[in-house]
A and B are shown apart, each in its own frame.
Chain A
Amino acid sequence: MRFAFILSETFSGIRRNLSMVISVVLVTFISLTFVGSAGLLQMQINQMKGYWYDRVEVAIFLCNDTSTAASCAGGGITDAQRDAIEAQLDSPQAAAYVESYEYESQEQALELFQQQYANLDMAESVTAEQLPESFRVSLVDPEQYEVVNEMFSGMAGVEVVSDQRELLESLFSLMNIASVIAIALAIIMLITAILLIATTIRLSAFSRRRETGIMRLVGASKTMIQLPFLAEGVVAALLGAALASVATWAIAKFFIADWLASQYPQTGFISSAEALWLVPLLFLIALILAAASSMLTLRRYLKV
């Protein structure tokens, strides 16, 4: 009886206030879709990091006769210098960061170069002497690049320490900026949603002030009086969350998993199933939203 009564009060409230409820649904829908998109971007960044970081390495290029870097003033690398670098790579300090390394001679470098740029005329004219020898180092934690860089860039015979990750980082920072913008927009929209829900509840409370007045008079409990209004906001916010979940899933499915993945088959993309992890988050935000705005309103306009 009690539950049925609260339910019927809630729905009669929604019916009376339909246009406001629809605007709450839409604003929550849009703002949570922004949140969902930012979530997808972050998931995609993580996915790509996992995918690429296993494949990228730090290259310690060694001096050759044509090097111009200051550390190569002594000309090409000597065997002693090369041994010193290798010893450093094997040392216990480095062991914490270095997972494995490989030596690449000038001949191997030439071979790789010619493979990669087989269609370039220039490839034929390049000789092994023009290319640097290098140590190819894969790191335990790719984020620790700076430590390795410091450890080796000062050493005699090292021309430059280069991190292939840097290329990816610029892509990731671009994606991060995009998700920050999405989150910023989402926050503005979420604030709008909170205020809109608060206004809706207030309007609803005003249009039903006779009923609530009588409820207070006869001693209805706080729950009985306030719950229908709270439920009204919650129902609207959850509807918005449901729509946003569908939109987020659709973006993951049709844009990322289907279209982008077919355009860039080499890259690891998130699947639409992974996007479903965002759904509980969106619903949680919607609930917090409704609760926050109810706190703003019920206390002031529906005191018992």
Chain B
Amino acid sequence: MIRFEDVTKVYDTTSRPALDGVTTEIVRGEFVFLVGPSGSGKSTFIRLVQREEKASSGTVYVSGRDVARLSSWRVPHLRRDLGVVFQDFRLLPNKTVFSNVAFAMQVLGKRRSLINQTVPEVLETVGLRDKAHRFPHELSGGEQQRVAIARAVVNKPAILLADEPTGNLDPETSWGIMEVLDTIHQNGTTVVMATHDNEIVNTMRRRVVELEAGKIVRDEAEGGYQPADNTAQLQSRLRKTEVK
């Protein structure tokens, strides 16, 4: 499904690479946690799959295609195979829950009848059936993230990429989100989730790929995650919040 062959990504030649010679494969139907401290290359990994960035060297294959060699008008086709969820939800504030999810179908030119049928089903899956006509600001963070997940999967992508989807949520709400992601995985979608929430990783017992300074330091089938230095982790998180 996703294959990295000796992938290196350098943003700025003066600093160290964001990803440094990464080789790994994620097969269809897997649920993979991508763990590691901030700056370890998790987000870069996801951006390379989306082809938001191109690898400096090495090759990224998604569904058998070398993404770097896709022509610019083929890139949208790649992205239709991917659903993406972010830490900051990225909903449209002036659209209702229903319209936010429907928007993802509209821009692909789907028929109105199909939209009216599919959107309520997906909202059911994420547990927001009765909030279809609310606006994002009327929802809690967890609910907003559910809308974002609904939008990511409404076009039935083969792969769901989640970049710290629980990063802004309290532990209890995070579990709700994990249940939704698990359901989507059960339905056959490959899920790649970048996180540094060790509690979630340790409880779920899924495959864990750990990155550190752009290199894979661990790849375990049913792994857990114990950040090497909690203080450093906390500090880096604090820095991140300050920047925002």
A interface residue numbers (CB < 8 A to B): 1-2, 5, 210-211, 213-222, 224-225, 304
Q: Is the CB of B109 within 8 A of A5?
A: yes
Chain A CB within 8 A of B137 CB: no
Closest 6 CB pairs of A and B: A219-B79, A219-B80, A2-B109, A220-B107, A219-B76, A218-B104
Q: How far is the CA of A215 from the CA of B76 in the complex (A)?
A: 9
**Which residues of chain A are near B111, meaning CB under 8 Å?**
1
Chain A CB within 8 A of B108 CB: yes
Q: List 12 A-B contacts (CB under 8 A).
A: A2-B109, A211-B103, A213-B90, A214-B107, A216-B79, A217-B79, A218-B108, A219-B77, A219-B155, A222-B72, A224-B108, A304-B72
Q: Is the CB of B92 within 8 A of A214?
A: yes
Q: Is the CB of A220 within 8 A of B76?
A: yes
Chain A CB within 8 A of B78 CB: yes
**With A214-B103, A220-B107 in contact, is A1–B112 under 8 Å at CB?**
yes
**Which residues of chain A are near B50, meaning CB under 8 Å?**
217
Within 8 A of A (CB), among B66-98: 72-73, 75-84, 90, 92-93
**With A304-B72, A304-B75, A304-B76 in contact, is A219–B90 under 8 Å at CB?**
no
Q: How far is the CA of A20 from the CA of B80 in the complex (A)?
A: 34
**Which residues of chain A are near B140, meaning CB under 8 Å?**
none
Chain A CB within 8 A of B151 CB: yes
Q: A-B pairs with CB below 8 Å: how many?
A: 62
Given A1-B110, A218-B107, A219-B82, list of 5 further CB < 8 A pairs? A1-B109, A218-B83, A219-B78, A220-B107, A304-B72
**Which residues of chain B are near A218, meaning CB under 8 Å?**
79-80, 83, 104, 107-108, 151-152, 155
Contact with A along B188-213 (1 / 0, CB 8 A): 00000000000000000000000000
Q: Is the CB of A211 within 8 A of B92?
A: yes
Q: Is the CB of A1 within 8 A of B76?
A: no
Q: Is the CB of A224 within 8 A of B80?
A: no
**Which residues of chain A are near B108, meaning CB under 8 Å?**
218-220, 224
Q: Is the CB of B76 within 8 A of A221?
A: yes
Q: How far is the CA of A210 from the CA of B106 in the complex (A)?
A: 15
Q: Is the CB of A215 within 8 A of B107?
A: yes
Q: Output the residue of B76, B77, B79, B111 with the most chain A CB within 10 A.
A: B76
Q: Output the residue of B72, B73, B107 with the most chain A CB within 10 A.
A: B107
**Which residues of chain B are near A224, meaning CB under 8 Å?**
107-109
Q: Is the CB of B90 within 8 A of A210?
A: yes
Looking at the assembled complex, report how far the CB atom of A189 sits from the nearest CB atom of chain B, in whole angstroms: 34
Q: How far is the CA of A267 from the CA of B112 in the complex (A)?
A: 64
Q: How far is the CA of A222 from the CA of B1 in the complex (A)?
A: 25
Q: How far is the CA of A30 from the CA of B103 in the complex (A)?
A: 39
Nearest opposing residue in chain A for B110, CB measure? A1
**Which residues of chain A are near B76, meaning CB under 8 Å?**
216, 219-222, 304
**Which residues of chain B are near A1, meaning CB under 8 Å?**
106, 109-112
**Which residues of chain A are near B77, meaning CB under 8 Å?**
219
Q: How far is the CA of A74 from the CA of B155 in the complex (A)?
A: 103
**Which residues of chain B are near A221, meaning CB under 8 Å?**
73, 76
Looking at the assembled complex, report how far the CB atom of B76 sits from the nearest CB atom of chain A, in whole angstroms: 4
Q: How far is the CA of A195 from the CA of B81 in the complex (A)?
A: 38
**Which residues of chain A are near B103, meaning CB under 8 Å?**
211, 214
Looking at the assembled complex, report how far the CB atom of B138 sits from the nearest CB atom of chain A, in whole angstroms: 18
Contact with A along B16-57 (1 / 0, CB 8 A): 000000000000000000000000000000000010000000
Contact with A along B203-240 (1 / 0, CB 8 A): 00000000000000000000000000000000000000
**Which residues of chain B are near A225, meaning CB under 8 Å?**
107
Nearest opposing residue in chain A for B79, CB measure? A219
Q: Is the CB of A222 within 8 A of B151?
A: no
Looking at the assembled complex, report how far the CB atom of A220 sits from the nearest CB atom of chain B, in whole angstroms: 4
**Which of A5, A216, A219, A222 is close to B106, meaning CB atoms less than 8 Å apart?**
A5
Looking at the assembled complex, report how far the CB atom of B33 sits from the nearest CB atom of chain A, in whole angstroms: 22
Looking at the assembled complex, report how far the CB atom of A5 sits from the nearest CB atom of chain B, in whole angstroms: 5
Looking at the assembled complex, report how far the CB atom of A114 sits from the nearest CB atom of chain B, in whole angstroms: 83
Q: How far is the CA of A202 from the CA of B77 in the complex (A)?
A: 26
